[in-house]
Amino acid sequence: MRRLLLIAGWAALVALLSSSVLATVGLGFTPEHIPSLAAPLQFITGQLTWLAPLLWFVALGLCLAPLIRSRAATAALLSGIWIIETIWKDYFAYYDWLHPVFLFPTTTLPLVGPLPQVYYTLWLSNRFELIGTALVLLPIGWLLLHNPEGLLKGSSEE
C-alpha cells in the first residue's frame, strides 16, 4: 500500500507541476466553465482532467494485479484499455452507457477551453463517475492484497 501511495503520489505531483506550468504560460488544456469561475476554482476543477483517470487506473491496477497474479498481464490489460479508449473515442462518446468509463474525453474529443453548460456538466459528471468507481475499487484491491497465499503463488507464476 505504501508503494502504491508513493507511485500514485509521484505521478500526481508530476501531473500537477506540469499542468501548473502550462496554465502559467497560458497553454492550459482543460475545459472552462461559462460564466467563468474564479481562477483558483477553475484551476482546481481543471486538475480533474488527469486526477480522475490516474485514480481509476491505480485502483483498477491494484485489483487486477492480485487477481491475475501477473505483472505482465496487468500491464498488458491496462495498456489495452488505454489504447482502445483512445482509438475508439467516438464510440465512448456516442453511447451513454460507456460514459462512466470514458477516461480521456478532455484530450481525445477534445473538450477544452470555454464550453457550453451542457458539455461542461457532462465532463464534470464523467470525472466524478471515474473517481467514484476508483473509490469503490480501492478498498476491493486493499482486501485482495490481504491474501498472502495468493501473493506468494503469484510471484512464482510470473
Q: Does the protein bind other proteins through residue 82 (CB under 8 A)?
A: yes
3-state SS, residue 115? strand
Interface of this chain with other proteins, residues 50 to 69, rule: CB under 8 A: 68-69
Query: Would you tell me the crossing angle of helices 48-68 and 71-87 to the nearest 10 degrees?
Result: 140
Q: Does the protein bind other proteins through residue 21 (CB under 8 A)?
A: no
Q: Cell numbers at residue 48, please?
A: 480533474
Torsion of the alpha carbons at 126, 128, 134 and 136, rounded to the nearest 10: -120
In the numeric block, the cell 473515442 is attached to 89
Q: Does the protein bind other proteins through residue 20 (CB under 8 A)?
A: no
Q: How many residues bind other proteins (CB under 8 A)?
A: 21
Which residue among 1, 34, 76, 135 contacts other proteins (CB under 8 A)? 76
Q: Does the protein bind other proteins through residue 147 (CB under 8 A)?
A: no
Q: Which is nearer to other proteins, 95 or 128 (by Cβ)?
A: 95
First-to-last C-alpha distance (Å) of the chain: 21
Q: E strands, 28-131, where?
A: 31-33, 113-115
Q: Which is nearer to other proteins, 38 or 72 (by Cβ)?
A: 72
Which residue among 10, 88, 119, 128 contacts other proteins (CB under 8 A)? 88
Q: Cell numbers at residue 27, please?
A: 497553454
What does the alpha-carbon distance between residue 143 and residue 33 come to, in Å, rounded to a whole number?
Answer: 39
Q: Does the protein bind other proteins through residue 153 (CB under 8 A)?
A: no
Q: Does the protein bind other proteins through residue 23 (CB under 8 A)?
A: no
Q: Give residues in contact with other proteins (CB under 8 A).
A: 68-73, 75-77, 79-84, 86-88, 91, 157-158
